[in-house]
Structure 1
């Protein structure tokens, strides 16, 4: 007779334990799918010295970019020509950003008679267009983990 010997487990209890362990293993196996979401941290520089509101639009494909239909957008206060914001929980993929500093508080990017912006603006990758916004591919960057990027306003 052993003092520390455990009695044998009933078969039904062993099956329940095995099923619970299998279920837990499946949940743990799915965890990386949720962990794949990434945060995009954006810093913006060269804004106006006076306080302004920064408007930023995030695009995940060329069609939405061309049609100005962002998948997400945010505003942030600019102070001393700088601002920071985060787009959290992004799925892996290619993204592009457009930003402008609303210097007069009217909620839009003002332009002159020729359609050229009179307020500061910029794009991801500091992409530049030729008399128009750069295309999606010029501004696009990959996101597959947390990423930090910088836009200089012009």
Structure 2
């Protein structure tokens, strides 16, 4: 038995056929964070997809997670293939920001993808960049 498609149904089916290959290219980035504080804290993580957004602190995605026993895990889903960098910090006093001393150095734990380190500043995007072309797991060790 044949069921004719309405014009709207045919268009929806056609649109879905165009989108489904793009969804197949999407990847999930799983992040494990270690070396956090033993006390209760909130982990803030920002994801950047290019050097300009990284330099301007304009994340393409961000998440928070509770730190438990100095560890946390979260997942960024549906990412297009490309290069990404992660910045993370723990808010240990509940004020919603990374605290710094008078010299501008962080007083709360922080870290970057690739465990990249900067010299008195955040590391460059290139140092922190990771390639996401399929589902990937990575680790950030806070300091």
TM over 0.5: same fold? Answer: yes
* Cα distance in 2 between the residues matched to 1:29 and 1:99: 36
C-alpha distance in structure 1 between counterparts of 2:50 and 2:95, whole Å: 28
CA distance in 1, matches of 2:95, 2:17: 49
Q: Kindly indicate whether residue 13 of structure 2 is the aligned counterpart of residue 35 of structure 1.
A: no
Which runs of 5 or more residues in structure 2 are unaligned? 5-12
Cα deviation code 1:14-37 (max 9, x no counterpart)? xx9xxxxxxx8x976864322110
Q: How well do the aligned residues superpose, as a CA RMSD in angstroms?
A: 1.9
Provide the rounded CA distance (Å) in 2 between the counterparts of 1:65 and 1:136: 6
Q: 1:81 aligns with which of 49, 59, 70?
A: 70
Partner of 1:66: 55
Aligned to 2:9: none
Q: Which structure 1 residue ranges, 5 or more long, are not aligned?
A: 1-12, 17-23
Gap change, CA 1:113 and 1:29, over 3 Å in 2: closer
Matched, 1:140 2:129: yes
The higher radius of gyration belongs to 1
Which secondary structure does the structure 2 equivalent of 1:134 belong to? coil
Aligned residues: 133
| Counterpart-to-counterpart distance in 2, 1:27 and 1:124 | 35
